[in-house]
Amino acid sequence: MFIIQIIINNIEKITFQQDDQISVQEIINNIIREFKFPRQSTTLIEIDQVIRDPTYIVNFQPNSPIKANFSYETTITFIDKFNNSFEHRCDLCKSIFQIEQEIIKEILPLEYSLQILQPIDEQNINTLYINSYEKIPQQLEFTIQANFYINFYGFHHQFNINPFNLIELIKYEILEFYNIQQEFQLYYNETELNNHQQYITYFIPNHSELKIKLQTRIKLFIKYQNYVHQYSCSLDEKLEKFKQKLRQIYQIPEKYLLQLTYKNNLLKNDQESISQLKIEENSIIIMEIGNKHQLTLQDKYSSKYFQFQVRSIDLVSILDKQNPFINQQVTYFFQGQELIKTETFEQLKVDTENLTIYYKIEKLIINVYFQDENQRQKKMGVIISDQIKYALQQLNSAIDSITLSYQGKNISIESTYEKEGIINDSIIYYKINDKLEIRYTISPNFQEHFILVQNNITGAQLLKIIPQVYLNQGYKYKLMLNNCDFPLDQKVTQNQCFRLVRTFEIQFYSQDDNQYFLETFSQEDTILEAKQKFSQKFSLHLDSLIILYKDILLKDDQLIHQYKEKQLWISQIIGVTFQKRNGTASFSKRYQKQVSLKSVLNDFIKEQSPCRFEYNEQLIDENFGNKLLKDICQDQQQIILIYEFEQNLKLINKEKQTEVYKIKFYPKEIVGSVFNKLLDDKFQYYNMGQLIDTYKSFDDNKIKNNSQIYYNKIYQFTLDILNDKSNIKFQVNSLNHRIIDAISPIIQKKYSLDFTAYLNNRLINLEQSFKQENINNDATIQIQLLIYLTVTVHENELNKIFQVDPNANIGQLNKLLDNKQNKKLFSFTDQIQLEDHILLSTLKKNNNKVDLVYKEATSISNSVYQPSGLILDCISQTQNMKTTDNSTIEIIIQNMLNDEKLQETVRLDQKLGDFFHNFQLKMEFSDISLFYEGEIVDYEKTFEEIGAGSQSLFEII
């Protein structure tokens, strides 16, 4: 018995005991059956880091878990409860979570939650993978959910919604939950959410706050006579003030009574507000002017009467438009006086509501039927005393070519119905001489009609005849042939089928320039034809125009006649493309021209990813963002906005690495402009060991998002050379540097001499650091250059040459020799024995050279040698100058990742490259760099050449 562990697709681990051997194929079958993978899955089994084929037998416990990778790709249709669907190619051996994440990236602009729904197998419930063992699914259901929260008067609630829902539905859900009793607007940030837009179009991230703004104003429609106008007012406005504003708008004198009716109820209480009157948004209020009169119209010569309601400001002629007075010549009387039809009822000079008006019909109207040769009839109401030719004008404009007959005899068109004895409902037969039969249809129907007309008739004449024969009079029409307007001056020919389309006028309001346009359209015109007309009028591209009705975007294929009594808005749109700096376009959308640039940017920005924008290489600030697109674009149809996301970095004190600042920046910002807000300019900054140029941008310095930037202070010092009274300025980036390492390269470069250093006449220990010697920023260090003597000592035939300090004496030089008591130093020229206290500088020649002889003494001096502290220092200097062997030093290496410090022994003449290669092999490091004093070292140089000394600090990154 042995234990087998299997890791499936790198995400799930299973363990089981095996009593006997088992083949790889059996393992594959068991996993497919257990996890409901497709039977046809592609598999790859790795045992102890070797790929095994299905026939391989496992009869032992592997050293490590078996890696089993399964794959099967297929295309599945996903559908939600609203019948929205899409296809996605899935690997059914991936977890449901992985597939859901793939779909989210493919179809959603934001990371909303998506859940794949699948039938549950009660025998083996598996929620990790899609069940495809028995059958590969072709279709699966899914749901998408977004969430937001609202804090309404301290009542906090989170809503979970489908992001494809209309805002209108979401507002209804909010209204129901909070029991809001009035209209309100819904806002995300500063953007109002349009009822007719989907939630997802606003790119609102999950867990965002939406805000409710209760409505303070209301839109109404005032219907006055036959016109309807839109009006907006405050909900707190009193009815009295509301009426007064209407008087000003419609220029209604105070002497006329003004009454408003809402839902058949007269609004009476002038002290109630609009909200108290419970008037709903977009409601129609009927406005009536003048006193109301209830008229009884009494026939002057009979007992017939009719009742009508009028207003005192109505014209008396309004009665002619009421049954039974239509098409009649009627005279009206009040209190024996004939009323003037062109004046209002104010001529009655009474305030009484119920009045009696007498009328007299001057001419009798009868109905007659005109019938053509094809027995088609046209019914007309005619005045019995009129000539017949007036009616014939409705049948044909060329009346001279028509022959009439009544009751079997021809009659003259100049005669009247009364003379010919024609009575009510009579039939008059007519025949068109030199006739032409025309076919036509009447929009919106396609039933063909026929009419006989005179030959050589024009389009204008035909257009005048047809409406009078078959349609109500008073409307306007246009004549079309083969879907094109027929020229009015063109002759009509046989075998053509015309179409008669009613025309009307629509008022358009241009949001871009606040102008009104009155345009004529036909009953069959679409919104597209309207856009084409304005495209030509404004000389604009067709795709740059949209037409709206009450903020609703109208589609191109909608018929425009359904808006013939409404006002439409025409607006120009601008294409806006968002392009990442140095990248490709990531998002494009069209916006109305009067929208502010700020609204456009808010449509793009995500809260978790702040960014900034440029237009025409100009950074968009708040003032520029408040401009409207029409002011920015002018004649352009497309603009490109460049954006870059805000990035982060850590600014770390190199000497005190617990001191960390979190900095936000944009790639094209100048480094100094950002860092100097926090630190002054007396600092240096390093990225990956490279000194940063603070006068360049973050991009130019190759500083990426989440970089770690190290900084240290720059310390300024002055060297005062006492020998020649000159000054040298230098700087270091740490007070922990050894003084000798900082100063020596400067002195050697200019003078190539040793030196001693003083601070305020205090001797400085050059092996110590600036901090140990308490040397602070801006200090002046005095430098005394040491000029050595060349001393040649002649001993028998052997010459020894020494470089010594001028302040050294004979006693000190004796100690450097073999120090035999029986040998002393003598002057080379006069062979005089030299005593120990004599300074070597008193023996020098003009060329700073001294020649001495070292031999046995003939007499011993009684002087006692007592070396001073200064002389001991001189010996030390002399010994150091003589040292030329390959001595070793101890250096410190600090790992910047974990601050671990290592001590290594190196030779001064050893190349850094040789040492570093062996160091990486010993420590098993790779891809690291070696830094000294903040810069990557030159691997071709030796430790001595870079000025390294004992306990020098190196860094690895």
Residue 868's pLDDT is 33
pTM attached to this predicted model: 0.32
Residue 867's pLDDT is 35
Segment 239-258 mean pLDDT? 87
Rounded CA-CA distance 896/891 in Å is 16
Closest to 745 in 3D by CA, of 479, 944, 595: 944
Least confident of 382-386, 802-806, 855-859: 855-859
End-to-end CA distance of the chain: 50
Q: Where are the alpha helices (DSSP H) in 560-619?
A: 597-604
Closest to 842 in 3D by CA, of 794, 868, 808, 885: 808
Closest to 425 in 3D by CA, of 465, 365, 471, 385: 365
Rounded CA-CA distance 117/80 in Å is 10
Query: 169 and 137 in contact (C-beta within 8 Å)?
Result: no
pLDDT above 60: residue 738: yes
Residue 598's pLDDT is 80
Query: 845 and 873 in contact (C-beta within 8 Å)?
Result: no
Rounded CA-CA distance 600/533 in Å is 28
Identify the DSSP state of 318.
G
**Token pair belonging to 330:** 């009627």
Give the pLDDT band of residue 205 (cuts 50, 70, 90).
very high
Give the torsion through C-alpha atoms of 386, 392, 398, 402, to 10 deg: -110
Least confident of 545-549, 648-652, 854-858: 854-858
pLDDT above 90: residue 186: yes
Which residues have a Cβ under 8 Å from the Cβ of 707 and sit 6 or more positions away? 649, 650, 687
Least confident of 336-340, 431-435, 878-882: 878-882
Query: 38 and 131 in contact (C-beta within 8 Å)?
Result: no
Identify the DSSP state of 397.
S
Percent of the chain residues past pLDDT 70, beyond the cut: 91
Could you count the other beta carbons within 10 Å of the beta carbon of residue 126?
Answer: 15
pLDDT tens per residue across span 64-77: 899 999 999 999 99
Segment 630-648 mean pLDDT? 78
Rounded CA-CA distance 844/394 in Å is 145
Beta strands in 386-525 (DSSP E): 402-406, 409-411, 426-432, 435-442, 449-454, 476-481, 484-485, 497-510, 515-522
Q: How far is CA 900 from CA 409, 614, 897, in A?
A: 130, 46, 8
Q: Where are the alpha helices (DSSP H) in 53-110?
A: 96-107
Rounded CA-CA distance 276/886 in Å is 103
Give the pLDDT band of residue 861 (cuts 50, 70, 90).
very low
Per-residue buried b or exposed e for 800-809, using 16+ beta carbons within 10 Å of the residue's own CB: eebebbbbbb
The long-range contacts involving 829-836, CB below 8 angstroms and separated by at least 24 positions, are 833/857, 833/858, 833/859, 833/861, 834/810, 835/810, 835/861, 835/863, 836/809, 836/810, 836/811, 836/861, 836/863, 836/865
**Token pair belonging to 411:** 């009659």
pLDDT above 50: residue 25: yes
> Concatenated DSSP letters for 912-953?
HHHHHHHHHHHHT--S--EEETTEE--TTSBTTTTT--TT-E
Q: Note if the bond before 324 is cis, omega within 30 degrees.
A: yes
Query: 389 and 420 in contact (C-beta within 8 Å)?
Result: no
Beta strands in 226-282 (DSSP E): 227-234, 258-262, 265-266
Which residues have a Cβ under 8 Å from the Cβ of 174 and sit 6 or more positions away? 150, 159, 180, 186, 212
